[in-house]
């Protein structure tokens, strides 16, 4: 059984930027020839990848932190359940509000979940489909 101190340190070590899933999506998009901006603070939700010329953004979400409906996302910690339930609900609401604000501003949004990234070919197809239908502005 791990101590509360160990758990606290583990949770503090979790990053919000440059995570392994995010780096995987960025690397693949770059290898496919797409260029992007990272963590645009001037856009709602600070999207992980922004493609300004295409007015498209990508969020790469961790299943646990953003409450995905997969096995990992549905898991609730045994200790401090009330806190985690509320925190994840706030994260989901914040994500929804950011997507809505981006859509109102004319941005197209895609969310890539951590659990979906294992299948590289499927990921490549989703990226290609989302980014290829341009509506490019010159």
**Residue 75 included in any domain:** yes
Any idea what the CATH number is for the domain that residue 117 is in? 3.40.960.10
Distance of alpha carbon 21 from alpha carbon 19, whole angstroms: 6
Give the structural domain span for 122.
Answer: 16-132
- Three-state SS sequence of the chain: CCCHHHHHHHHHCCCCCCCHHHHHHHHHHHHCCCCCEECCCCCCCCCCEEEHHHCEEEEEECHHHHCCCCHHHHCCCCCCHHHHHHHHHHHHHHHHHHHHHHHHCCCEEEEEEHHHCCCHHHHHHHHHHHHHCCCCCC
pTM flag (> 0.75): yes
Task: Per-residue pLDDT tens, the chain, 138 aa: give them.
Answer: 677 777 677 666 666 788 999 999 999 999 999 999 999 999 999 999 999 999 999 999 999 989 999 988 888 888 889 999 999 999 999 999 999 999 999 999 999 999 999 999 999 999 999 998 655 444
pLDDT at 138: 40
Dump pLDDT digits (tens) for 79-96. 889 999 999 999 999 999
Number of separate domains in the chain: 1
Give me the chain's average pLDDT, please: 89
Separation CA 99–CA 57 (nearest Å): 10
Residues 6+ apart with CB under 8 A from 96: none
Asked whether residue 138 is assigned to any structural domain, the reply reads no
């Amino acid at each position: 059984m791990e101590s509360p101190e160990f758990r606290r340190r583990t949770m503090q070590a979790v990053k919000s930027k440059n995570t392994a899933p995010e780096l995987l999506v960025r690397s693949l998009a770059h290898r496919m020839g797409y260029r992007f901006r990272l963590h645009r603070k001037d856009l709602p939700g600070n999207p992980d990848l922004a493609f300004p010329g295409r007015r498209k953004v990508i969020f790469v979400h961790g299943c646990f932190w953003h409450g995905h409906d997969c096995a990992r996302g549905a898991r609730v910690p045994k200790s401090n359940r009330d806190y985690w339930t509320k925190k994840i609900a706030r994260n989901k609401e914040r994500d929804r509000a950011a997507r809505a604000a981006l859509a109102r501003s004319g941005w197209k949004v895609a969310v890539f979940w951590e659990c979906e990234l294992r299948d590289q070919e499927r990921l490549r197809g989703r990226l290609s489909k989302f980014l290829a239908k341009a509506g490019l502005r010159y």
